[in-house]
Each structure stands twice: as structure tokens, then as C-alpha cells.
Structure 1
Amino acid sequence: MQVNTSVKKSQNTLGLVIVDGVGYRNFILSDFITQSLDTFDEVVIFSGLPSESFEMQEQVNVKIVELPVFKESGETWFWRKLKEVAHMQLHKNKFAGINYNLQKNFPVTKSKRALITKIIFRLTSKFHSEKWIRRFYKNQVSSLKNAEVHQLYRDLLKKEKPDLLFFTHQRPPYLAPLDYSAKKLGIKTCSFIFSWDNLPSKGRMAAPFDSFLVWSNLMKKELHYFYPETKNQPVEVVGTPQFEPYVLDRYRSSKADFYQKFDLNPSFKTICYSCGDASTSKNDPFYIKTIAQFIVQEKLAKEVNFLVRTSPAEDGSRFKDLVEKFSFIKWNYPKWELTRENHPEPWSQRVPLAEDLMDLRSLLENCDLNINMCSTMSLDFMLFDKPVINPTFGTGENYLYDDQKYLLYSHYERVVKSGAVAIVKNVDELLREINFSLNNPQARLQEQKELLKIQIGKPLKGTSQRIAKTLKEFSEA
């Protein structure tokens, strides 16, 4: 996108912080920019992605400001780590996801940083109240006062003068100095809670933002629980732009296009297996192989196409053996381009093409059954009234990676108890549920609709307009 720098500064400016490819998808490939320009005079995008990533139609009142890559000092890292681990120590006994992530953060090496991290764990085992967490954060931002990144962020904000700085994610570490710089300049801040699992299974958010946007009343309740001070702050239920492209005409394609693009037999039912990333969904190759063997052995109730969509966070190389062994499997590798190499978090630099959203919507709309290991894709397919199966064979005691632990995470425990998905824990159960779902595709439809009402608090249509309107109200409050 070309940036017009000749436009006279407007009175009402929204600062939009895009931190990664998912934020790009949610707020750039949705209707958010268009709706924001109907509400604000100007949008300044403060981007954690290279500015050339924004291949959108040139708009006069949109400006891209590329943020410098944040390199955290040892002192800042220490106080941030204290804050994050203390938050998990505080909530570990009530939330399985937080407890698991706390354990995963405990170092097993003997490096200097690993030793310091062990000291942090020992300290926070005793000092982890909200009072201590706020103290750790105060020391974290104090360490930023003379940091170069603080001066850079402050200069950028002074130049652009946004009325509100809107963070599309609440967790990346470099958001703390950006929020701190905004507060020093008297600029209001707002954060969108990025995902349905971020509050009950992750560590402390990056900063104490001034206001919040959440998916649902459920998420608002969770926010108040984990961050009690938010009870006295503006928090608005707006839904999520993550799913808005599913109701936008520009991402629609025909059923015939679907069969042609993925080389599928239109006479068959289509099973889609959607993968998680390699770090959390390590059993994906085993599940895909098991389903492929069902097809080879003619154990399924109907003839099927088998389509696999890999995770946007990886290149799909871990499935090479399956590609070679089962030629009938069709593969959808998400069209997310790596925009920057040698980055501290390279996965965050993958950016989706609009074509990928068309592919995904087509897949959701035209596949007959989805199978995934407890991912957000369960919700995506439910939005199109499709049955969902979650295989979790791993127990930690067998040869498979322990993925049954995810059933205890509070956000997914709710899914399990709702009856909206079929949870299967062995090969026989998986075969039985595939055949049942192919023959009874609407058996769990009512439970799915009830779950979606709880998880996504507003209609998909009008999501961007709703968010832009709320942000304008926050900026004027």
C-alpha cells in the first residue's frame, strides 16, 4: 500500500496497533478499516509487520507506521517475567490451562537465564498477589524510562497524535512500552482480547490498558475475574472480527469452484481435518493417518473426499510422509506469506492473502464434517452448521503426546460439556463418530448454536461497524 503523507492532520485519529498476521486478518481483511474511516477522520496503523505487507487499496486517510523490532533488555525481561509468572502462580490451582503453561515455562536447561527464571519461580511461589503483580509491572515500565524503544515509540505517538490507541492483541511484550509511552502523552488506550482462550489459559497481559473490547458476556466476566480493576473500566461486548469474512460477499465462492480447486469428487461427502500447530497438536499426523486407513480399508459409511488444512503457523513439512503414502488426500496449505525472517517470533510475521480467506470460507461452507484437536476451528465449522469431532488419544502414558489435557482447559471444558462436539479417545470411537456424523449431520446442531451464542456475543454482520463505533465512544469519553 502507498502511504499518502501529504494529507493535513485530522482532528479524530484512530491509532491501530497490528502485531501479527492474525491481527492483519482480523482487522485489515475484514471491514474494519472501511468502517473506521466512516467513524474517524484518519487511521494510523502502527505495525509490527513490514509496511509493504499492507497490500490494500490506497486510501487517502490511512497511514502505515512500521514499529521498530523491540529488543527487550535483561532488566525489563526480569520484571516482565516476574509479572507473568506471578499471574500464573495466582491462578494455577483453579485453571488447568494456566497451570500447564506455568509448568511449561519452568526451565530445564542450566543457562544463566534459566537460573534466573528458577529464582523467579521461587519468588513468585510466595509473592503473587495482585498487589505484587502491580509492583512488578511498575518496575517493568520504570526500566523502560530511558530505553531507546520508549523514546522511539513516544516520538512516533507525538508525531501522529492519535485520539485513541487500539491494540488488536493484549499479550506481546513490546506492547508494554507502547502503552506506557501513550499514557505518558495522555493518549487513551484500548485492547481487544485476542482469542477465546487467552484469559483462562495464558499469562498476564502486556499492560493495564484503559478500556477493553471482548467477544461475549462470558469473556467480560472472565476479564473481571482475572483483572479485578477492569470492573471500574469501560469494557464492551462487540463479538470478534475473526469470523466476519464469513458474511462478506467478497469472500464468497461457488460449490463448483470448491470441488474444482481442491480436485474433489462432487458425488462424495468431504471430510476436512484441520491441523493445529506442531507445538500443541503433535498428534495430527497420527490422526490423519488413521482416517486415511479407514478410507483404504473401506470402513466408512459413505464414500468420501479427504481434505487436510495445515496450520498457517507452519509450512506443512511434518506431513511429507503422509503426502507420499496417501495420494488421495488433498492438501490445503494456507496462503500465509512470511514477510520478515530473523525475527524473534517468526510465526507472527506470516500474513494471510485474501485468497486464503476465500479458500477457508469455501472449505467451511462445503465440507460435510470437520475433525480437529480442540482448536478454534471447531467454532468456525459450527458457524456453518457442520458436525465436529475432536480426537484426543494421547494420555501422557501411551506413546502419543498428551492432548487429553486440553479437555480440562476451562474454555474447552465448556465445549465438551455443551455436547456440541464429539470427543473421541481411541480409534474405535473415532470410526464410530465419523460414520454417525456422516449419517446424522445435524445431530448436535442445537447444542452448537447454544455454544456459539455463549462464545460469540454478537452477530457476525456489522462486527467492524460495531467495533469502530465503540472505539469512537471510548475516544470521546
Structure 2
Amino acid sequence: MEIEPSKAISGYMKEVKKVIFVVPDGVGIKNYLYSKLLTELKPDDVQIVIWSPLPKEVFNEVERLHGITIEYKAITLLAEPPLTRLYREATTYARLKHNVILKNNTSLLTNWPKPKGYSKRAFMQRIAQVLGNYLTKDYKRILSYEAKSKRHWGSADIAHYKGYLEALQPQSVFITHQRVASLMPICLAAKQLNIKITTAIFSWDNLPKARLCVSADQYLVWGDWMQQEMTDYYPEIPSEQIKLVGTPQFEFYLEDKHIITRAEFANEHHLDKNKTWICFSGDDVKTSPYDALFLKDVAEALAPYEDQIQIIFRRCPVDFSQRYDAVLKNYNHLIKPIDPLWHVPKDTGWTGYFAKYEDIAMQVNLAKHCAAVINLGSTMAHDFTILNKPCLYLNYDPVVDKDWSVATIYSYQHFRSMKGLNAVGWLNSKETIADEVLKAIEQPESVATDRKLWMERVVLQPVDVSSQLIAKIL
């Protein structure tokens, strides 16, 4: 029998491996699909398959960017059975209470949503809380109820995904983050077929929140701090399953292709190239409900220097509120808003939001051309550190609110990674803003002197090896 030349290599059929990327929402597109990861997977040898509830059109830019063809399958995220949900929520609450004792940090309980009203969800939360209190007394009980949670997924749900996996025969499945509980049937189906599941811990604050909602064979972590957190919070997971790989989101800052000149950036966004730019990076409404007041305070403090300084305001990509409008109007001579470049489909909720590829260059050039960044506890501190720029954290309450305070924000567990380090500059009051900003401009090396050491604790160095390491694992 003749073998077609196109299918033969040295007399045998070339095997094309398949890797399934499970992309449950838009947050993983930027970090894992726009980065070098797909290039590192060598498209001649590896077929990328994407499973996602997002429409196929979302991934057209990924194909164009990497010059590859993606096999796409739309999936519907299955609702958790009631008992599965109850047991999972109960173990989440139990883990939070367990971690409070483990880390001597009561702020961890702020990650538990307080039940309000009399809806079915609120009723379940109350039951889960009572059950979680019982589980907290013995860590083995937590593990047993997590096992029960998995067992209550229906066999039909597991078989649904098992059939797809049997047809594709992938080498591995990569879940782009660990927080979506509806993906558990994929994990259970893959386990029955001995197909390796890998998931990434998406953000530096995720593990203390006790939301490890999928069961994987390998867990990708950012750095030494997160690796130790996995061991502390999930001692049942063998250390060899925890893979220290960094995160691709920081690689973009070292890619010259994204950078344009200061003059080009100024022209594109109607900035004054002769002034020093300071970036004010907005937070989401829940984290910083008084963010507009912070922006107003910064503007008032820097108004006397408007002939020298321009504030670039970048709002949180998922914040579409009008809370900043009055400040932007009143200080339009000083503040220049540059909105994130994100797709925001109608009627999808936050799960459908995702960054356009052009937003990467936007962020890279902000860090490249701004002297410093101001925000409330954002990861942007690390983004700016890569290009050796200081971050100034807002550290005072603009109003008195019994339900919110910056003291609570900075008591969160992931900020303990700063212990013993001069990691950021601190804006401890409205009155200190001008002096601290001027210091960051004129003497940047004297502000946040340990910023690189902090990042080394949090993110594997060098940052540009992450995609390569992940590709090898997949």
C-alpha cells in the first residue's frame, strides 16, 4: 500500500500530539494564549485544542497571532449538583477557618461571602457554614467531604466529557485557572482515562482563599512563596505535583516588540511628552470602593505641579462604573484617562471579558514611560518592578467606614510576602502624596529599595522562562 508522501516521514507516520486548553472564561486568554506558550509548544508537533464556553471568534486573534490553526469545541459549564455544591462550600469555609489558625490571620475569613436574605444561595451558604464549623475540628474531615463532593457528580456528566477525551486522545489537558468548580467532571473523566490534568494557580492571592476547585495531577505556581503556600494549605498534595514555573504575564515586559517611543505613546494618547507621567491604576469596586476619592486626593496633591507632571489614569478592566467621572472632569487638565483595551461582550458577565492583544502593549508602555505607579495593593507593583519603576501603595482611609479599611486590605495573607522588605513606597496620608511622588520621580532608587527582592519571592526569576517551562510540562 502506498503511503502519501505528505503523511510520511522517514517511512513512518508522524504523530501529532494534542494538548487541550480548557479556557472557562476570558481571564486566562492574555496570560496563556497571547504569551509565548503556544509558540513553545511547537505547532508542527502539537495540535492545540481549545474547550471553552466562549465563542470561537474569541480565539481568532490567538490563531492569527501565532500563525496556527486551533481545533475548537464549545462546551457548556455544567451546574454543580446540590450536594456537590454544599460539600464544596462547606469545605471552603472549613479551610478558611483552618487557615486562620494556621497563619494566625483573621483577614482570611473576609473571603467568605456573608449570606444575605433568604434566597436558595443564602440558605445553602448558612448550612455550609454550620457544616464547615464541624469540619474545621479535624483536617481529615475536610478531605473526606471534598471526596464526597466529587462523588456526587453524576456519571452522565463525567461520561459526557469522557467521550470527547476518548475521541481526541490528548497527551494532556491544561485548565487555565483553578477557580471554576464546574470543570471538575473533566478532571474526573481524565483521571479514568489516565490523561494528565494540569492547572495553574492564577493569581498571587488565590491560594489563601481556599478556592482550589479542580483536582489536577500538576499545579503550576508562580514562585517560592506560592509553592510554600501550596504545601501549607494543601499538605495532602505531593510536592512533586507542585511545579514552580512562574507566570507568563510578566514575559511581555521583556519583549521589545511591544515598546514604542515616548513620543509615539504621547501622540497616540494625547499626552504631553515634556511632562513626567505618573500612572494611577484603578481597583475594582469591591477592593477599593473609594478609589475615586483616592484619585481626587492624588490630583489635588499634584495640581501645583501640573506644569511638570501628568497623571495617566488606567481603570480596572472590569470596572465600568461612573464613579470617577466627576474627578476626571474637574481635573481634565491634569489627568488623562487611557482605558484598557478589552472585549466586553453584552450579556456575558465578567466571565466573557478578556483583554485584546493590543492591551499588552498598552500596559508595557505605561510601565516603560511612567515614572511610577500608584494604587491600592495591586499586582501592578510587580509589572513596574520588571522595568525598575517604583510603586506607591495608598495606605489611608479616605472616609470612615465600619465595613472597609485599608488596614484590612494590607492584612491579607499575600501581603505577608513583603515582610522585612522595603517593597513599595507608602502614601500614608493625603498630605504626604506630593512629597512621596516627587521623591519617586527624582530619586527612584531610594523608594521601594527592595522591590526586586520582593518580586523574587513572589515570581520565579528570570521571568522570561515561564512559557518554556510550562510547555515542557504540558
Q: Same fold (TM over 0.5)?
A: yes
Q: What is the match of residue 132 of structure 1?
A: 141
> Is 1:214 aligned to 2:221, yes or no?
yes
The structure 1 residue matched to 2:246, chosen from 234, 239, 249, is: 239
Single out whichever of 225-234 and 303-312 deviates more from structure 2. Answer: 225-234
Q: Which residue of 1 aligns with 2:153?
A: 144
Identify the residue that residue 200 of structure 2 maps to in structure 1.
192
Cα distance 1:53–1:9, how it changes in 2: closer, same or farther (>3 A)? farther
Indicate conservation of the 8 Å contact 1:269/1:367, yes or no. Answer: yes
Q: Secondary structure at the match of 1:191?
A: strand
SS in 1 for 2:86: helix
- The one-letter code matched in structure 2 to 1:50 is P
* Structure 2: gaps (5+ residues): 1-6, 8-12
Counterpart of 2:274 in 1: which secondary structure? Answer: coil
- CA RMSD of the aligned region, Å? 2.4
Cα distance in structure 1, aligned partners of 2:271 and 2:239: 54
Q: 1:336 aligns with which of 342, 358, 378?
A: 342
1:369 to 368, 372, 378: 372
Higher mean alpha-carbon deviation, 191-200 vs 394-403, is at 394-403
- Where does residue 474 of structure 1 map in the other structure? none
**Counterpart for residue 4 of structure 2:** none
- Unaligned stretches of 5+ residues in structure 1: 1-6, 472-477
Query: Shift of the alpha carbon at 1:446?
Result: 4.0
Aligned to 2:46: 41
What is the TM-score of this pair, normalised by structure 2?
0.90
Does the 8 Å contact 1:39/1:468 carry over to 2? no
Alignment-mate amino acid for residue 365 of structure 2: S
3-state SS of paired residue (2:41):
helix
Distance in structure 2 (CA, Å) of the matches to 1:415 and 1:295: 28
Helix, strand or coil at the partner of 1:16: strand
* Residue 71 of structure 2, aligned match among 63, 85, 100: 63
Q: Which runs of 4+ in 1 moved over 4 A?
A: 7-11, 58-61, 395-400
Structure-1 separation of matches of 2:463 and 2:142: 36
The residue type paired with residue 147 of structure 2 is K
Q: Secondary structure at the match of 2:35?
A: coil
Residues 436 and 38 of structure 1: CA distance in aligned 2, closer, same or farther (over 3 Å): same
1:96 Cα offset (Å): 4.0
2:108 paired residue number: 98
Instruction: Indicate the residue corresponding to 1:419 in structure 2.
Output: 422
In 2, distance between residues paired with 1:131 and 1:50?
41
Q: Which residue of 289, 297, 306 maps to 1:290?
A: 297
The 8 Å contact of residues 36 and 468 in structure 1, kept in 2 or not, is answered as yes
Supply the AA of the counterpart residue of 2:145.
F
State the Cα deviation string for residues 326-372 of structure 1 (Å, max 9, x = none).
21211111111124x444xx212111111111111111100012100
Q: Equivalent residue for 2:413?
A: 410
Q: Is the 8 A contact 2:424 2:448 kept in 1?
A: no
Residues 215 and 135 of structure 1, relative CA distance in 2, 3 Å threshold: same
In structure 2, the CA distance between the partners of 1:39 and 1:96, relative to structure 1 (3 Å rule), is farther
Amino acid at match of 1:274: S
| 1:172 equivalent in alignment to 2:175 | no
1:10: how far off?
4.4
